């Protein structure tokens, strides 16, 4: 987890593989989180064939009775991976399967996470259905105070509203997500939130603040895969900010952003969005 948090995918992968090797030597059950780690690290690095092998291994491990909670996690990770690869149909199928398992074990947090995966798979082709999934995910997560899943659902909502050009609604959801990311220090949510903030600030014409975020976001791009439409949007923000500010000023802002910590950038993004929306 520490390696993932630092963006050290190779280190995370090595530790997961070492964990599995130790379990084999000791004739112990393999730790399913090691399979999860390999799914994530290979998937984030674009090695989808190895990610698929880890997914299959995790599914096989989850086949025994009493492992349905882990099965939900496996299916959700698989769904997210397929959606990011551009196969939203398979992503939706896996997410729906995860939701069915979560409902069977009556775990609200797992249901909410599966709904987030459903929403992302539906986002481009069925935004109305995605909105329904997100509303339900938020309700479930808040009912059991699952802040991690609530943060993910808010990020999904911000992305969906940005896609529909509902910028003020996107900013409102994102400001809450940014605040939660500051409180929890979750690097995965924090970096997703900074991407959305850069997109929204660019749409709102706040190019100086957008420039502060765009380069750190680009720096961390390898850590978390970016949906193609979001990646294209960030490229447009970078170009627009450079045109609006001039190359020299843009570089000065971008350089300052690289030196700021993630927590400082999260706070700056939240304040900038609040000022832009109220203006």
In whole angstroms, give the CA distance from residue 257 to residue 219: 11
CA 223 to chain centre: 10
In whole angstroms, give the CA distance from residue 52 to residue 263: 34
Helix boundaries (H) for the chain: 2-5, 9-25, 32-44, 48-62, 68-84, 88-104, 108-122, 127-143, 147-163, 167-184, 187-203, 207-219, 228-245, 247-259, 262-278
pTM of the model: 0.87
pLDDT digits (tens, 9 = 90+) for 138-175: 999 999 999 889 999 999 999 999 999 999 999 999 99
Model confidence at 202: pLDDT above 80: yes
Candidates 255, 260, 152, 161; CA nearest to 203 is 161
Q: How many CB atoms lie within 10 A of CB 61?
A: 18
228 contact partners, CB below 8 Å, separation of at least 6 = 86
Minimum mean pLDDT among 28-42, 191-205, 232-246: which range?
Answer: 28-42
Res. 249 pLDDT band, cuts 50 70 90: very high
Candidates 270, 247, 269; CA nearest to 257 is 269
215 contact partners, CB below 8 Å, separation of at least 6 = 254, 255, 257, 258
**Residue pair 212/254 in contact by the 8 Å Cβ criterion:** yes
Res. 187 pLDDT band, cuts 50 70 90: confident
In whole angstroms, give the CA distance from residue 140 to residue 164: 24
62 contact partners, CB below 8 Å, separation of at least 6 = 32, 68, 70, 71, 74
pLDDT digits (tens, 9 = 90+) for 255-265: 998 888 888 99
pLDDT, position 9: 73
Residue 139 half-sphere exposure, CB side, CA atoms within 13 Å? Answer: 7
**Residue pair 143/184 in contact by the 8 Å Cβ criterion:** no
Model confidence at 219: pLDDT above 70: yes
Residue 261 half-sphere exposure, CB side, CA atoms within 13 Å? Answer: 6
**Residue pair 187/5 in contact by the 8 Å Cβ criterion:** yes
Tokens of 4: 């993932």
């Amino acid at each position: 987890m520490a390696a993932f948090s630092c963006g050290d995918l190779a280190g995370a992968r090595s530790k997961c593989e070492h964990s599995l090797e130790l379990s084999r030597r000791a004739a112990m059950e393999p730790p399913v989180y090691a399979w999860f780690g390999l799914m994530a690290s290979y998937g984030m690095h674009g090695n989808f064939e190895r990610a698929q092998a880890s997914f299959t291994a995790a599914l096989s491990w989850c086949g025994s009775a009493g492992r349905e909670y882990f099965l939900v996690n496996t299916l959700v990770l698989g769904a997210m991976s397929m959606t990011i690869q551009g196969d939203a149909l398979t992503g939706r199928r896996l997410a729906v399967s995860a939701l069915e398992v979560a409902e069977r074990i009556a775990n609200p947090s797992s249901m909410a996470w599966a709904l987030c995966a459903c929403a992302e798979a539906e986002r481009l082709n069925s935004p109305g259905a995605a909105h329904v999934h997100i509303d339900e995910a938020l309700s479930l997560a808040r009912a059991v105070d699952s802040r991690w899943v609530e943060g993910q659902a808010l990020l999904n909502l911000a992305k969906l509203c940005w896609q529909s050009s509902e910028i003020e609604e996107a900013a409102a959801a994102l400001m809450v997500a940014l605040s939660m990311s500051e409180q929890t220090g979750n690097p995965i949510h924090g970096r997703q939130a900074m991407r959305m903030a850069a997109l929204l600030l660019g749409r709102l014409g706040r190019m100086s603040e957008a420039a502060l975020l765009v380069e750190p976001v680009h720096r961390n791009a390898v850590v978390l895969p970016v949906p193609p439409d979001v990646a294209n949007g960030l490229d447009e923000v970078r170009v627009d900010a450079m045109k609006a500010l001039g190359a020299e000023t843009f570089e000065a802002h971008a350089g300052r952003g690289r030196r700021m910590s993630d927590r400082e950038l999260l706070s700056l993004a939240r304040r900038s969005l609040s000022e832009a929306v109220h203006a």
